[in-house]
Amino acid sequence: MAMGASASDVKALLQVSGEDGALVDALDRRAAAARRALQAAAEPSPSFFEGFALQGIRVDSIHPGRILCSFTVPTRLTAGGNHLAPGAVVALVDEIGSAAAVADGHHLKVSVDMSVSFVDLAAAAPGDTLRISARALGHRGAYSGTHVLVANAATGKVVAEGRHSLFGKMKIGSNI
């Protein structure tokens, strides 16, 4: 303390105004957001396609051999801007069908065959929420089969239905 300055004088000198305090708080929030962005960028991510096509899938429930997800159709995945693109449907069948096989306690496998019936793509417009259910049909040796149903959550209309065959005994590595 300076000679002759009382504790209350020093406290008043060190007091931060409400406006200055708000500026410091804003800097802290920006720094925290930047730290989170750097951490996310440092973590291994799926391929560009997976991130582009599958961003926004929510897992609603998962049980052995079954998985239920919801997905809001983004405009980036539409054909002509008016309905979900067929390629996006195939990506959903592939990824969620694989998840159903893994949810049944089997190792990660690779797709060897897929068939998708596009029942009513118009039932999946931008902003519509889809309900995607997948179940493991069975396993024989290194072969697994799954069934995936994509429907509009509000109307119940089936958008597409797929069957997915997977093969292999790939082990999932861990950095833990």
Condensed to tens digits (0 to 9), the pLDDT of residues 134-176 reads: 998 888 887 888 899 999 999 999 999 999 888 876 555 555 5
- Give the whole-angstrom CA distance, residue 87 versus residue 68: 20
What residues have CB less than 8 Å from 139, skipping those under 6 apart? 101, 104, 106, 145
pLDDT tens track for 15-72:
667 776 665 565 555 555 555 554 554 444 456 666 666 778 888 988 888 889 999 9
pTM above 0.85, yes or no: no
* 164 beta partners: 114, 146
- Give the whole-angstrom CA distance, residue 44 versus residue 162: 29
Q: Enter the tokens of residue 33.
A: 């957001």
How much is the pLDDT for 13? 60
- Give the whole-angstrom CA distance, residue 100 versus residue 132: 11
Q: 60, 76, 25: which is closest to 134 by C-alpha?
A: 60
Q: How many Cβ atoms are within 10 Å of 167's Cβ, its own excluded?
A: 14
How much is the pLDDT for 79? 87
Better-predicted residue by pLDDT, 142 or 85: 85
How much is the pLDDT for 41? 46
Domains of the chain: 19-40+47-54 (no CATH), 56-167 (3.10.129.10)
